């Protein structure tokens, strides 16, 4: 990968990678740090990474860095974040409900939902990035969707 291609990758993927990290770690500042770290590693390994695979390489790196950040935060707080805001809101937006419901998912499920819905990756690509088989990705995705669907359904019943 050349410097020009690297800069092109920055322009095309930096916001996407940061959003992916933001939805995973639920912290915008931490997500920016993860994104910068991922692109710094891409620059250091630009001779080894092909531009065609830069996108998946960045998301894989960001996913691993996000998992490390989540583990670090769990050690500090000791309590997993609980989505209480959604219940308190009187008439929440549907997208906001779903984004809040992402907190109910495991890290792998959340990553798969984000890569599938935001980035439009297929099962094979997601499996390559997260080191999972295609069937595993499908199972994780089904369970994640089921959780989100149940959460939306429950909220409708409450409202």
3-state helix, strand, coil in the chain (%, to 5): 80, 0, 20
In this structure, how many other beta carbons lie within 10 angstroms of the beta carbon of residue 58?
A: 25
Beta carbons of 6 and 46 less than 8 angstroms apart: yes
Tell me the closest approach of the beta carbon of residue 139 to other proteins, in angstroms. Answer: 11
Tell me the closest approach of the beta carbon of residue 87 to other proteins, in angstroms. Answer: 17
Nearer to other proteins, 74 or 96 (CB): 96
User: Is 111 exposed, middle or buried (CB count within 10 Å of its CB: 0-12, 13-18, 19+)?
Assistant: buried
Tell me the closest approach of the beta carbon of residue 37 to other proteins, in angstroms. Answer: 11
What residues make contact with other proteins under the rule CB under 8 A? 3-4, 6-7, 10-11, 14-16, 18-19, 22, 28, 31-32, 35-36, 39, 43, 94-95, 98-99, 113, 117-118, 120, 141-142, 145-146, 148-150, 152-153, 156
Tell me the closest approach of the beta carbon of residue 78 to other proteins, in angstroms. Answer: 29
Nearer to other proteins, 77 or 93 (CB): 93
Contacts of 61 (CB under 8 A, 6+ apart): 37, 38, 41, 42
Nearer to other proteins, 79 or 94 (CB): 94
For residue 143, the SS3 value is helix
Nearer to other proteins, 19 or 103 (CB): 19
């Amino acid at each position: 990968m050349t410097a020009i291609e690297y800069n092109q990758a920055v322009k095309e993927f930096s916001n996407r990678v940061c959003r992916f990290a933001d939805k995973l770690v639920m912290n915008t500042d931490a997500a920016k740090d993860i994104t910068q770290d991922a692109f710094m590693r891409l620059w250091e390994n630009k001779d080894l990474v092909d531009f065609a695979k830069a996108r998946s390489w960045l998301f894989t790196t960001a996913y691993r860095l996000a998992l490390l950040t989540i583990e670090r935060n769990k050690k500090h707080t000791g309590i997993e974040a609980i989505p209480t805001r959604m219940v308190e809101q009187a008439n929440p937006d549907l997208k906001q409900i779903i984004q809040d419901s992402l907190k109910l998912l495991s890290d792998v499920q959340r990553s798969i939902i984000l890569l599938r819905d935001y980035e439009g990756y297929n099962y094979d690509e997601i499996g390559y990035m997260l080191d999972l088989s295609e069937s595993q990705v499908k199972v994780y995705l089904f369970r994640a969707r089921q959780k989100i669907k149940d959460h939306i359904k429950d909220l409708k019943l409450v409202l």
